[in-house]
Structures are given as structure tokens and as C-alpha cells.
Amino acid sequence: MNYAGIRVNSPNLHVGQKLGFRRSAKVQNEQALAILIMSGSYLGFLPDHLAAGFVGSGLMRKVLPRDVFYRSQFAAVTRKRPAVNRITKLFLDTLVAAHSGQAAEV
């Protein structure tokens, strides 16, 4: 089976290499990767939130989900000065709340 991955240096690339997969297709984004996977000719890694709809509708299936996966860590960075404004603070609070299971205070 062919393996498709994101073109940029990402965990996607490293995990595939670790498993001994040789990338036969490179794409710029996850939506393009999803199209290749749905063609039935490629295996690839998609984030859970993107794959969920395809898996739920039967268009895709997870392969060895307990054995083959990776987690990504993201960060938000702001300037130290000037201090963050109200909109930026709300965005950061919402971002933290969305990933911690808590509701943001508006």
C-alpha cells in the first residue's frame, strides 16, 4: 500500500519513517491528504477531528489505532509588550478552555 504524508517536516513524516513507510505522495495540507486516503490507494495519518466525520460515515477506517498514533503539541505566542488587549486575551482564554474541557468566561 502507498503511504501519503504532509510535505512539511512534521510528526506525520517521522512516524511514517519510523514504521518503515516510504512516502509515495506528498501533499501540502490535511484536506489533500484526506482525498488521497479516500481514493483507497493510500494510507496516511489524519488528525482525529478531521478523520472523525469520514470514519463515522464509513468512508475511512482507522488502522491499528492503539498501536500507531502520535500526539502534537501546539502553542500560542504573543508579544510581551504591549500587554495583550481584550480580544487577544479572550482568544487565548477560549483556546485554553477548548483544550482543557472548561468554558471560557466572556
pLDDT in tens, 32-50: 999 999 999 998 988 888 9
Which of the pair, 89 or 67, is modelled with greater confidence? 89
Give the pLDDT confidence score for residue 55 in this predicted structure.
93
Q: Identify the H or E element spanning 26.
A: strand 23-27
Does residue 94 surpass a pLDDT of 80?
Answer: yes
DSSP 45-92: ---HHHHHHHHHTTS---SSTTTS-----------SSSPP-HHHHHHH
Confidence of residue 76 (pLDDT cuts 50, 70, 90): confident
Please state the rounded mean pLDDT for residues 4-20.
78
* Backbone CA torsion sign across 39, 8, 24, 61: negative
Give percent of the chain above pLDDT 90: 31
Does residue 104 surpass a pLDDT of 60?
Answer: no
